[in-house]
Amino acid sequence: MSYSSNSNRYNNMEYRKCGESGLRLPKVSLGMWHNFGKYEDFDNMKEMCFTAFDNGITHFDLANNYGFPHLGSAEINIGRILKRHLSRYRNELVISTKAGYRMWEGPYGDFGSRKYLLSSLDDSLKRLRLDYVDIFYHHRPDPDTPLYETIGALDQAVKSGKALYAGLSNYDGETMEEAVKIFNELKCPFVINQNRYSVLDRTIENNGLLKSAEKHKKGVIVFSPLAQGVLTDKYLKGIPKGSRIKKSGIYLSEKNLTENILHKVEKLDGIAKERGETLAQMALSWVFAKGGVTSVLMGASTPKQILENVKISTSKKFSEEELKLIDEIIKEG
Q: Which residues of the chain have pLDDT under 70?
A: 1, 237-256, 333
> Which residue type occupies 156?
Q
How do residues 207-234 score in pLDDT, each as one tens digit?
A: 999 999 999 999 999 999 999 889 988 7
| CA distance linking residue 73 with residue 71, whole number of Å | 6
Model pLDDT, residue 68: 87
Kindly report the three-state secondary structure assignment for every residue of the chain.
CCCCCCCCCCCCCCEEECCCCCCEEECEEEECCCCCCCCCCHHHHHHHHHHHHHCCCCEEECCCCCCCCCCCHHHHHHHHHHHHHHHHHHHHCEEEEEECCCCCCCCCCCCCCHHHHHHHHHHHHHHHCCCCEEEEEECCCCCCCCHHHHHHHHHHHHHCCCEEEEEEECCCHHHHHHHHHHHHHHCCCEEEEEEECECCECHHHHCCHHHHHHHCCCEEEEECCCHHHCCCCCCECECCCCCHHHHCCCCCCHHHCCHHHHHHHHHHHHHHHHCCCCHHHHHHHHCCCCCCCCEEEECCCCHHHHHHHHHHHHCCCCCHHHHHHHHHHHHCC
pLDDT of residue 254: 60
pLDDT given at position 156: 98
297: burial class by Cβ within 10 Å (0-12, 13-18, 19+)? buried
Q: What is the pLDDT of residue 215?
A: 98
64 phi/psi in degrees, rounded to 5 = -60, -30
Contact criterion met (CB below 8 Å) for 101 and 140: yes
Could you read off the pLDDT of 61-116 as tens digits, one per residue? Answer: 999 999 989 999 999 999 999 999 999 999 999 999 999 999 999 999 999 999 99
Res 278: pLDDT? 95
Distance of CA 69 to the CA centre of its chain: 19
For the chain, give the percent of residues with pLDDT over 90: 87
Answer whether 85's CB lies under 8 Å from 51's CB. Answer: no
| Domains detected in the chain | 15-229+289-316 (3.20.20.100)
Q: Which residue type does 112 have?
A: G
Q: Categorise residue 24: left if φ over 0, alpha if ψ from -120 to 50, beta otherwise.
A: beta
Average per-residue pLDDT for the chain: 94
Cα–Cα distance measured from residue 18 to residue 225, given in angstroms and rounded to the nearest whole number: 19
What span, in angstroms and rounded, lies between the C-alpha atoms of 46 and 132?
A: 21
- The 10 Å CB-count burial string (b at 16+, else e) for 315-325 is beebeeebeeb
Question: In this predicted structure, what is the pLDDT of residue 91?
Answer: 98
